[in-house]
A = this chain, B = another copy of it.
Amino acid sequence: MSNGTPLIRKLVIVGVGLIGGSLALALRRAGAVSEIIGVGRSKVNLNKAIEAGAIDRVSSDLIDVAQDVDMIVLATPVNTINLYLHELSARPPKDVIITDVGSVKQDIMLTARQCLNEQYRNFVPGHPIAGRERPGIDAASPGLFENHSVVLTPDEGTDSRAIDLVRKMWLVTGASIILMDQQEHDAVLSLTSHLPHVLAYVMMNYLANDANAERCYQMTAGGFYDFTRTASSDPEMWKDISIMNRDNLMKDIRQFQVRLEDIAMMIQNSDDASLERLFQDARQARSLVMEKRNPGE
């Protein structure tokens, strides 16, 4: 890769945090990009990204810098992705490939369609299934995406050349690509990610407000620690994800409530046969999660 023409000449990364920074470092390591320009709200963070070697320079004007690059990656939290799409709507850059990393796809694609007009064909919605609770460029690593999946949910009219370049970019980081329908993506992510986040937040709130809270803090062990890990995620970002993916998430909460009530009845009635069967089925399912899990995590 580094001997020939780089895959991407000029790349803009908007939001050089954990995801954007790790992407920059991975592309750089592979020699897959000539110049990376960082855009963001936090000058402190952008300067750190320069020091870390993730980006070459900074631009404070997305619209201006956007016109003369090959690709723009919107790597901010979901609500800010939408804000930047609105910013681009003033002058959607021509023939520039735009992609994002948001955990919700339908809402962002709707915004992109409205904001980018005919340039929407160059918008390739993406979502790397990787992350850590600790945010920011300090936590970024060029290996973050190795052995992880990146989902792309292009629309019917999305330009195939655009899809291909975004696909190649993620392959360079060591990720594998899953092409998926946007509805399916949002339904699946609601169940595998958004619902568990909500449940972990609720669990953590319940403990904090319990009369025995002090004792509870003292007695938490590894199980509780892992169960509530996602409750350390960024509240603003997760508030936005929850609301953006509301319909799927509400369906999942409702169905979770039904299942929780089922198990409550088994416990109430000391129905140990049903309870053990349900726990067994769950453990069996969890062993599939362990088998199919990305080895890199």
Binding site of A, secondary structure by majority: helix, strand, loop or mixed?
helix
Annotate A272-297 by CB proximity to B: 1 below 8 A, 0 otherwise. 10011011111111111110111001
Is there contact, CB below 8 Å, between A205 and B259?
yes
> Given A188-B219, A192-B221, A236-B276 in contact, is the A285-B242 Cβ separation under 8 Å?
no
> Given A239-B279, A268-B246 in contact, is the A216-B192 Cβ separation under 8 Å?
yes
Is there contact, CB below 8 Å, between A197 and B212?
no
* CB of A28, distance to nearest CB on chain B (Å): 24
* CB of A31, distance to nearest CB on chain B (Å): 28
Give A240's nearest chain B residue, CB to CB.
B272
Residues of B within 8 A of A279 (CB): 201, 231, 235, 238-239
* CB of A279, distance to nearest CB on chain B (Å): 3
Is there contact, CB below 8 Å, between A286 and B228?
yes
Residues of B within 8 A of A231 (CB): 279, 282-283, 285-286
Annotate A109-143 by CB proximity to B: 1 below 8 A, 0 otherwise. 00000000000000000000111100000000000
Q: Which chain A residues numbered 246 to 287 have a C-beta less than 8 Å away from chain B?
A: 246, 249-250, 252-257, 259-261, 263-264, 267-268, 270, 272, 275-276, 278-287
Residues of B within 8 A of A161 (CB): none
> Given A188-B212, A236-B276, A285-B207 in contact, is the A256-B223 Cβ separation under 8 Å?
no
Count the A residues whose beta carbon is within 8 Å of the partner chain — how many? 95
Is there contact, CB below 8 Å, between B288 and A217?
yes
Residues of B within 8 A of A236 (CB): 276
Most chain B beta carbons < 10 A, residue from A195, A216, A217, A240? A216
Residues of B within 8 A of A254 (CB): 264
* CB of A122, distance to nearest CB on chain B (Å): 26
Cross-chain contact of A253 among B148, B201, B225, B264 (Cβ < 8 A): B264
Is there contact, CB below 8 Å, between A250 and B223?
no
* CB of A115, distance to nearest CB on chain B (Å): 21
Is there contact, CB below 8 Å, between A256 and B203?
yes
A84 close to chain B: CB less than 8 A: no
* CB of A45, distance to nearest CB on chain B (Å): 20
